[in-house]
Structure 1
Amino acid sequence: MNAAVTLAPWGPADLPLLERANTPEMTAHLGGPETPAQLEERQERYLRLVGAGEAAMYRIEVDGTPVGGIGYWQVEHDGTPAWETGWHVFPEWQRRGIAGAALRLIIRLVAARGERTLLVAYPGIANPGSNALCRTAGFTHRGSGSMPWRGGDLAFNIWVLDMSPLDLDARAPDLDERFDEGVLDETVWWPYYLAHWSSRERAAARYSAAPEGLELRIDRDTSPWSPEFDEGNRVSHLQTGQFSGPLGSPTGQHRFRDGLVVREAQPERRLHLPRFGVIEARMTAVRHPDAMVAFWPIGFEDRPDDCGEICIAEIFGSEIDDTGGWVGVGVKAQHDPRLRTDFEKIRVDGDLTAMHDYAVEWTPDEVRFFIDHRWVKTVRQTIDYPTQLMLDVYEFPRADGERDVAALPHVLRVERVRTFPPA
């Protein structure tokens, strides 16, 4: 779906959109069409609830063309205040990813309100498309139910998206790295970026550790770390593990392109390999179009399929502006056939070059993502193997081959990195 999916506030002139959706095909999972009087009452209810602040209703538009509707409204779920959401997309616009895009926009709007931490949906049990959409949007299935509806019984599934903030007050970390000893603790950190695809000399980090925290740095004389496989990319990086095969083999962590072979044998390092729990970094971004910072645990990969990536934060300097910027979060399958990539960019207001907290809460069933302890995304997938932390700043080459040396060094500042065992 390349066209722009947007939401426009539902208005007094939108009754024809309800009428267009009131067909046997569109209402098959809702007990059938409504009468004209019922549609008029529904339209009046939408406008009344929106005016009272108890709901928000929208047209779904594709490049300005109305293609359906979506909204959320106040309910209680198991005695807890919540928002309920529902949607429809006209048949000729279905199977294009439009409903999924609209639901992601609604989730962002609900999360930004911060008033209620639960979003619920009750699609019909016989509606496979809407149930699949809830699952892929990060909702948790919490059972099913039925109720009288339009002269019959409506059987529905219960889906819940928990948007509660990250609470660490009662939890003790098993790693609380402040980088304040003046030297890097190499029982935790391996200061080389995927050196098996290059060499320790080329992949060595430029860094300093001081009471103010860690600085990872790309300097004027920093060379591309692996020109054979990664062109002119420069990086300064720490990781908490190292696994790769013998010289000349294709075995190694983060197989980021085809044709990789080990160029320098590396010692195995199992330093700090969390599996479930909370992983958090407090760090800054770099506002420069050639730079990117990231914090992304990856599978230790001693088994080839155990290679998925949990991208806690990926921030391109080109995507930072005067009022905020975009932070990439989510799961990347890489070469793990059990995973599907579920990654998106979250708009964050404020100065991203100042310190912010980026974290995940990882369980056997899901990964919840947080920025400054505020929930931003849930990925409902199972990642059940140890991961190593990957912390880095990149400088990407320009098409003309020139570098902006006046802007160097590019510096990623990290105040702390913490991990917490499962609750």
Structure 2
Amino acid sequence: MTVTLRRWSVDDLPVLERANTAEMTRFLGGPETSAQVVARHARYLRLWETGEAHMFRIDVDGVPAGSIGWWHVEHGGRPAYETGWGVEPGWQGRGVATEALRQVIADVRADGERDLLVAYPGVENSGSNALCRRAGFAHTGSDTAPWRGGELTFNVWELDMSPLDLTDRQPDVEERFDEGVLDEKLWWPFYTPQWSSRERAAARYTVGAPGLELRIDADTPPWAPDLDGDLRVSHLQTGQFSGGLGSGVGQHRFRPGLVVREEQPDRLLWLPRFGVIEARLAAIRHPSAMVALWPIGFEDAPDDCGEICIAEIFGSELDDAGGWVGVGVKPQNDPRLRADFEKIRVEGDLTDFHDYAVEWRPDGLRFFVDHRWVKTVAQTIDYPVQLMLDVYEFPPGDGVRDAAALPHRFRVAWVRSYPPA
């Protein structure tokens, strides 16, 4: 199923007419008159031309399924966007509204004139209220106002899109990799070696005044060939925890049935819990390469293994104008979490340095690129995490490595964490 948003057009009046039923308007005070529907259609067209609103027709596999959009409002004396939607009954409960709202949020982010998005679903509209919650909006109250000849009691949902503000905040750890040697009080230079060995999982790197460079060289071996094929990795992590030889205890259980092949010492190094984690990274534009910064649960308790993906950038998804950056939450094996991960389009040369950050709070996570808000996740992780800083080389489809492109070099200017505000 493919959900697409189409700019509202003169041919879309039937979408509003189909939505003007008792069933579709039961949380809005009932249907409008035919004249009011025609006026609404004209308003959608006019306000797009003036830039005051963007209204869209929702298509599912090319079939019109409803409408969604945003428009300018004042909210508590503050300029904001408001959003609203309507999905036809045959498409409800199938994730159409969730995907449509995700795309509208991306459109609002691209417009960029205001840093607050609000929604006012009726208090009895359980589906729309749940959708706001899943999309990262915060419930800030309820109110009653005149509406269509009566009164409407509605909930107030706010999505904070303000930029990351670190004014007057000082990092508790700031790693610039400028000492000429890796600080092993912070970093363990092996990729989950319990599932393989330190020899195969060892990082290739240099450190110095420009920062860190993680490399995959021509002679870098696959880190665990019987488990992960020809995947090659160069990686630093800020903790290490795993069980005894032959046990199934260990961090980042990326597939079922893993057992410890080489015992490792415990390392409790840099393990943040809440606050801001930020790094300045430069991606690699090559179809076999991927770079990432993702904190994962230290996992001394088996369920404490969720992942906060601050940046995951595939070289195959970069182009001359920009690229796609993956951000969000992945549960891994934490049953308390649900996947909320998406790829955000970022303009500019991502092989140059950009800042990637998460603001991690007890009530949720906000993600940023160059201090600009890109996503909110209405979940949190309530246990310490270790940082995982990686460059991967995936095996090419034809099995032949691109020797001319090696080594792959992942540049990191700095990594730092801030305690909770």
TM-score (norm 1): 0.98
In structure 1, list runs of 5 or more residues that go unmatched: none
Alignment of 1:251-270 (within 5 A): 251-270=249-268
- Match for 1:318: what amino acid? S
| CA distance in structure 2 between the aligned counterparts of 1:300 and 1:258, rounded to whole angstroms | 19
**Deviations, residues 114-155 of structure 1 (Å, cap 9, x unaligned):** 211000001111111111111111111111111121232211
Asked whether 1:108 is paired with 2:114, we answer no
Q: Which residue of 2 aligns with 1:402?
A: 400
Q: Which residue is 1:79 aligned to?
A: 77
Asked whether 1:186 is paired with 2:184, we answer yes
Give the match's secondary structure for 2:375: strand
SS of aligned partner of 1:251: coil
Counterpart of 2:288, as a letter, is: D
Report the 3-state secondary structure (helix = DSSP H, G, I; strand = E; otherwise coil) of the residue aligned with 1:87.
Answer: strand
Letter paired with 1:348: V
Deviation per residue, 1:297-339 (Å, 9 max, x gap) = 0000000010000000111111111211111110000111110
Q: Which moved more, 1:265-274 or 1:87-96?
A: 87-96
Report what 2:276 is aligned to. Answer: 278
After superposition, where does 1:234-383 map in structure 2 within 5 Å? 234-383=232-381
Give yes or no for the alignment of 1:203 onto 2:201: yes
2:175 matched residue in structure 1 = 177
Q: How far apart are 1:11 and its partner, in Å? A: 2.3
- What SS does structure 2 have at the residue aligned with 1:256? coil
Q: Secondary structure at the match of 1:16?
A: helix
Q: Match of 1:372, as an amino acid?
A: D
What is the distance in 1 between the residues matched to 2:244 and 2:225?
A: 20
8 Å contact 2:244–2:263 — kept in the other structure? yes
The code of the aligned residue for 2:399 comes to G
Shift of 1:401: 2.6
Aligned equivalents of 2:50 and 2:235: distance in 1? 52
Structure 1 SS opposite 2:36 = helix
In the alignment of these two chains, the number of paired residues is 421
AA partner of residue 161 (structure 2): M
Following superposition, the deviation at residue 16 of structure 1 comes to: 1.8
Residue of structure 2 aligned with 1:14, choices 12, 15, 25:
12
Residues 312, 327 of structure 2: 8 Å contact kept: yes
In structure 2, the residue matched to 1:62 is 60
Deviation of the 1:235 alpha carbon: 0.3
- The letter for the 2-side match of 1:367 is L
2:25 match = 27
| Between 330-339 and 71-80, the greater mean CA deviation after superposition | 71-80
Alignment check: 8 A CA contact 2:286 2:315 kept: yes
Deviation at 1:232, TM superposition (A): 1.3
Runs of 4+ residues deviating >6 angstroms: none
Distance 1:201 1:123 in 2: 57
Letter matched to residue 358 of structure 2: V
How far residue 382 of structure 1 moved from its aligned partner, in angstroms, is 2.4
Q: Percent identity?
A: 71
Point out the more displaced range, 66-75 or 251-260.
66-75
3-state SS, counterpart of residue 404 of structure 2 = helix
Tell me the residue number matched to 2:223.
225
Counterpart code for 2:204? R
Q: Report the AA paired with residue 189 of structure 1.
A: W
Q: Write the deviation string for residues 160-182 of structure 1: whole angstroms up to 9, x where unpaired.
A: 00000111121100111111111
CA distance in 2, matches of 1:213, 1:30: 57
Moved more, 403-412 or 225-234: 225-234
CA contact (8 A) 2:360 2:380 kept: no
* Shift, 1:184, TM fit: 0.5
* Alignment check: 8 A CA contact 2:72 2:79 kept: yes
SS state of the match for residue 4, structure 2?
Answer: strand
Distance, in Å, in 2 between the alignment partners of 1:398 and 1:44 is: 52
What's the Cα RMSD here? 1.1
Amino acid at match of 1:339: L
Q: Which has the larger displacement, 359-368 or 168-177?
A: 168-177
Unaligned runs of 5+ in 2: none
Name the amino acid aligned to 1:224.
P
Q: Supply the distance in 1 between the matched residues of 2:365 and 2:23 (Cα, whole angstroms).
A: 36
Question: Could you tell me which residue of structure 1 aligns to residue 95 of structure 2?
Answer: 97
| TM superposition shift of 1:239 | 0.5
